[in-house]
């Protein structure tokens, strides 16, 4: 009976691990790979204490069972320098090792820190809305909803903010979730090592439409990325203040779509609602070059 129960438990664990695809245990970029290494190292360090402690507990319980007449109970025993050394040294070493791993990784994997790469970095601005994700490509002059396309093997610099409640941007296979908050910009650098479609989620509950607040990060070759940009510039509507005002209305399960042109002041207007008149360099992809006054309010 116990043997069958053990086999069933092992099978359930293996099934659960095997099903952990498209998640943090299946890294597809340098950041996620480094985070998985930290996770495994931390687990190994903690198991070095947990496993012996469990075994010692079971051993003590078995040795001092009621039926073992050889076990000696010594009620006057109260101190052992060697035992005290072991009891305090092992936890201290564990804290030092875990703290060292956390300190080094927090410096090496700091989200705003650029990734070392010979490929040019792609800049993508992200705005979390109710309940959708808006991705703006300021250098390409396009935007998309719930779908972000990036070149495989190239770093991506995400600049993130929110036009509503606080949210959390997370692509598990690429690593490093980060919060989006109104009135400020957070920065995150990620990279997909090879072409693929990687699910992205909102990791912060934000209301009734939260379960549908998902997106797909698609990594493609540089040639396919350039072709996607060219196709996006030739179809869809323009993302100006009116189009953005429509996007801010709460909606659920929005289908991915693109915008052929953007108002380059839009992201700054979302971050700084009172400073919409500050203009960046003209964007040749936005028709006219003569931007009307931007008012993202109703």
pLDDT averaged over the chain? 84
* For residue 62, pLDDT beyond 70: yes
Residue 106: pLDDT band with limits 50, 70, 90:
confident
pLDDT digit string, tens, across residues 108-167: 888 999 998 899 999 999 999 999 999 999 999 999 999 999 999 999 999 999 998 899
Matching residue, tokens 């989620």 = 201
pLDDT at 289: 37
Rounded CA-CA distance 236/259 in Å is 5
Whether the predicted pLDDT of 236 surpasses 50: yes
Distance CA 129, CA 125 (A): 13
**How much is the pTM?**
0.77
> Average pLDDT of 225-233?
96
Q: Using one digit for the tens of pLDDT, what is the confidence trace for 16-52? A: 444 455 688 999 999 999 999 888 988 988 888 889 8
> What is the predicted pLDDT for the residue at 83?
83
Distance CA 31, CA 188 (A): 11
Cβ count near 43 (within 10 Å): 11
State residue 21's pLDDT score.
57
Which residues, in sequence order, are CB contacts of 294 under 8 Å at separation 6+? 240, 241, 263, 265, 266, 269, 276, 277
Average pLDDT, integer, range 66-92? 82
């Amino acid at each position: 009976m116990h043997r069958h129960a053990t086999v069933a438990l092992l099978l359930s664990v293996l099934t659960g691990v095997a099903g952990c695809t498209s998640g943090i245990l299946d890294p597809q970029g340098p950041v996620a790979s480094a985070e998985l290494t930290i996770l495994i190292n931390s687990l190994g360090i903690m198991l070095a204490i947990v496993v012996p402690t469990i075994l010692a507990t079971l051993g003590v319980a078995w040795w001092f069972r009621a039926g073992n007449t050889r076990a000696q109970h010594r009620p006057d025993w109260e101190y052992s320098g060697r035992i005290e050394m072991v009891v305090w040294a092992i936890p201290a070493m564990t804290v030092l090792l875990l703290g060292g791993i956390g300190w080094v990784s927090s410096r090496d994997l700091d989200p705003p820190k650029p990734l070392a790469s010979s490929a040019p970095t792609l800049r993508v601005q992200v705005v979390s809305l109710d309940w959708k994700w808006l991705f703006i490509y300021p250098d390409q002059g396009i935007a998309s909803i719930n779908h972000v396309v990036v070149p495989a093997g190239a770093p991506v610099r995400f600049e993130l903010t929110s036009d509503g409640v606080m949210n959390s941007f997370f692509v598990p296979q690429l690593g490093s979730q980060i919060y989006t908050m109104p009135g400020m910009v957070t920065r995150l650098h990620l990279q997909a090592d090879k072409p693929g479609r990687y699910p992205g989620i909102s990791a912060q509950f934000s209301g009734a439409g939260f379960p549908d607040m998902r997106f797909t990060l698609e990594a493609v070759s540089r040639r396919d990325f350039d072709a996607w940009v060219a196709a996006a510039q030739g179809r869809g509507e323009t993302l100006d203040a009116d189009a953005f005002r429509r996007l801010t209305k709460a909606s659920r399960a929005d289908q991915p779509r693109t915008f052929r042109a953007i108002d380059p002041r839009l992201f700054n207007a979302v971050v700084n609602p009172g400073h919409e008149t500050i203009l960046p360099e003209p964007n040749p992809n936005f028709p006219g070059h003569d931007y009307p006054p931007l008012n993202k309010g109703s």
